[in-house]
Amino acid sequence: MSTLTEEQLYLLAMSALLTESNDQHHDVLYGEHDDSYGKKLGINTLKKFWDISDRESLMDTINWLYSEGHRVPFLNDLADGTITDPEEWTDNIDAWDFCRIMSLARWGAAAGYISDDEAWNQLKMCGSFLEQRYSSFEDIANHYLNGYEYWFDEAPNESFVAAYDYLTDPENNKSPWNLIKWGYYSR
């Protein structure tokens, strides 16, 4: 049984697609129930995929994602016609950047680069924005996947497809999207 608050579980559910695709847990900040394993995983994930090795590089990356991320080039490409079939794309990929901030904050706390309170504050800022921008967890995931496709110039890999199917299955009583009511901040 989780000791997290309803708000904290709601925030973790927002970035559940990346959490699930990495086979991590939705009911703990660090993504793992074993804190020492979570720390090792946080350090390794940040270094391998983000070239982050300390607080400064973590915060630089988070600040870049807040200020520009991949949203700005995407919108520029939409505006100048570089994206040749805009009907294929959603109008934004904000979820791509903001869900990754949430994951970076979780891994950063696990790694010891930021405090748990700092991580939760990052999640709250992102969560408030995402709730205003999107209509459901699934809507966030769809926009996140558009961001993935834009950035990698290919369809999402099997782990993301499997995670999406798992999370959106209405019969899945372990999916945080089925367990947690959408709209925490607007209640």
C-alpha 184/C-alpha 43 separation (Å) is 31
Domain residue limits at 94 = 6-186
Give the angle 24-28-18 at the CA atoms, nearest 5°. 35
Give the Cα separation of 107 and 114 in Å (integer).
9
80 pLDDT exceeds 90? no
Q: Is residue 112 part of a domain?
A: yes
What pLDDT does residue 46 have?
A: 98
- 57-74 mean pLDDT: 95
pLDDT the model gives residue 81: 81
Cα separations in angstroms, 16 against 26, 49, 54, 141, 153: 7, 18, 25, 9, 22
Is 1 a member of any domain? no
Q: Please give the distance of CA 100 from its chain centroid, rounded to a whole number.
A: 4
**Which residues have C-beta within 8 Å of that of residue 120, sequence separation ≥ 6?**
8, 11, 29
- For residues 120 and 126, the answer to whether their CB atoms sit within 8 Å is no
| Residue 82 included in any domain | yes
Query: CA 150, CA 93: separation in Å to the nearest integer?
Result: 9
Tokens standing for residue 16: 């559940």
| pTM of the predicted model as reported, rounded to 2 decimal places | 0.92
Which pLDDT tens digit goes with each residue over 96-145? Answer: 999 999 999 999 999 999 999 999 999 999 999 999 999 999 999 999 99
Higher per-residue confidence, 173 vs 79: 173
With cut-offs at 50, 70 and 90, classify the pLDDT of residue 38.
Answer: confident
Number of structural domains found in the chain: 1
Rounded to an integer, what distance in angstroms lies between the CA atom of residue 163 and that of residue 103?
A: 15
Cα 86 to chain centroid distance, Å, stands at 24
Tokens 């979780």, residue located: 106
